[in-house]
Amino acid sequence: MDTARKNVALLSACQGLLLTNNSVLITVNALAGYALAPDKALATLPVTAYFVGSALTTLPVSLLMKRIGRRGGFTAGGICGILGSMLCAWAIFSANFWLLCSGTLVLGVYFAAGQYYRFAAADAVPVDFKSKAISLVLAGGIVGGFIGPETSKLTMDLLADHIYGGAYLSLIGFALLAITLLHWIDIPPLSAEERKAVGRPFAAIARQPAFLVAALSGMVGYGVMNLLMTATPLAMVACQHPFSDAAFVIQWHIVAMFAPSFVTGTLIQRFGLMTVMIAGVVLNIACVAVALAGVDVMNFWLAMVLLGMGWNFMYVGATALLTECHAPAERAKVQGVNDAAIFLTMVVSSASSGALFTYQGWQTMNIVAVPFLLLAGAAIVWLALARRQPRVAA
């Protein structure tokens, strides 16, 4: 196996472990928050803290990787994953809501570092393999889709009188395994000249139409997905569905987020980047339609499957588009700012998710997502038409 493909395989495995961590948190965070929160409208605050931690650290993590390399940065993120898991477990044992939020804040650093797995794959492969490398790394998340919810079901009651405590402790083992795998990753660091170079001013990079559309698509795709996904366990429990059904729906949502990655890169090569991103918008709108049609388990299941597939097409497409916008010396700041914008969107979406669900209800939450999806769709169509005009003129 050549070095590039070995790196993609290892990064895909690390992505799977990251998403195992993520899916356990998705399944239990809102419910643990609801159990401990002094005000039930704050139930999704631990989820929000997770994304706040990611938003605050994603740019520093990117700059750290520019200095010490991808492997060092990923290892530092894994260590934060272990520390955050310990804090969350301690919070459950002490019934301390604010300590739970602190633990998820630290876990957010691990998530921020892990978001660069896809960029690390793209950085170390030929141009014609970039979209496939990105999608194959993200495909590793399908492992987390199966293991995470099953882990949460097996461990949530593991410790007597401390529901969810065992689920948080299980995350330590997954982070340790990810750190171990990182020792075999071989991605050349930037040269001394590239580390010192600053490249173009960020304002010049941000004025590129491709950057604007890539950032907007990533923000909307992740924001809408996070808004609806975060509230799904709460909505299902409120509709008298058992926890096992909520875990089942989240499991298939995560599978739907990452299973398409086995073909997303090929679809991009076959039909074009803009077409795949538009398909992602359409799938998200279909998710809203299904969610509004009813509150049976199958409505939740199909809505979350469509939401996961829509996120995949928008996110893989936005990532591939972003790699066209920067030189190697510029990638740390461009990737860092892009992911910081995505995480800030996730902070807003998760923070508003609990309040929207509590005060407005499940249907209103879905309706709120539609204008943002239409905006992203319009931006993608605009860029597609702009790129087509020079070819028509030629």
- CA nearest neighbour of 330 among 186, 190, 124: 190
Percent of the chain residues topping a pLDDT of 90: 41
| Contact indicator for 166, 158 with CB cutoff of 8 Å | yes
CA dist 106 and 74 (Å) reads: 14
| Residue-wise pLDDT tens digits, 216-227 | 999 999 999 989
CATH number at residue 107: 1.20.1250.20
User: pLDDT band at 394, cuts 50/70/90?
Assistant: very low
Of 17 and 142, more confident: 17
Looking at residue 192, what is its pLDDT? 63
User: pLDDT band at 391, cuts 50/70/90?
Assistant: low
In sequence order, what are the residues at sequence separation of 6 or more whose Cβ sits closer than 8 angstroms to the Cβ of residue 24? 148, 149, 151, 152, 167, 168, 170, 171
Over 50: is that where the pLDDT of 94 sits? yes
| Residue-wise pLDDT tens digits, 310-342 | 999 999 999 889 988 887 778 888 888 898 898
Q: How far is CA 212 from CA 206, 315, 365, 393, in A?
A: 7, 14, 26, 24
Q: How far is CA 375 from CA 22, 235, 310, 311, 370, in A?
A: 28, 27, 15, 15, 9
Rounded to two decimals, the pTM is: 0.77
Over 60: is that where the pLDDT of 229 sits? yes
Looking at residue 390, what is its pLDDT? 59
Most confident of 70-74, 124-128, 158-162, 191-195: 70-74
| Contact indicator for 350, 226 with CB cutoff of 8 Å | yes
Amino acid at 294: G
| Contact indicator for 202, 11 with CB cutoff of 8 Å | no
Q: How many residues does the chain have?
A: 394
Question: 197-201 long-range contacts, Cβ below 8 Å, gap at least 24?
Answer: 197/329, 198/329, 198/330, 199/326, 199/327, 199/329, 199/330, 199/333, 200/327, 200/330
Mean pLDDT of 220-247: 88
Token pair for residue 179? 């750190």
Looking at residue 265, what is its pLDDT? 84
315-328 CB burial, b ≥16 within 10 A, e <16: bbbbbbbbbebbee
Q: Containing domain of residue 341, as a range?
A: 3-393
Looking at residue 190, what is its pLDDT? 63
Give, to the nearest 10 degrees, the angle between helix 273-293 and helix 261-271: 130
CA dist 283 and 286 (Å) reads: 5
| Residue-wise pLDDT tens digits, 263-297 | 888 899 899 999 999 999 999 999 999 999 999 99
| Contact indicator for 276, 313 with CB cutoff of 8 Å | yes
User: pLDDT band at 194, cuts 50/70/90?
Assistant: low
Q: Mean pLDDT for the chain?
A: 87
Q: How many domains does the chain have?
A: 1
Q: Which residue has the tokens 């892990």?
A: 114
Of 237 and 113, more confident: 113
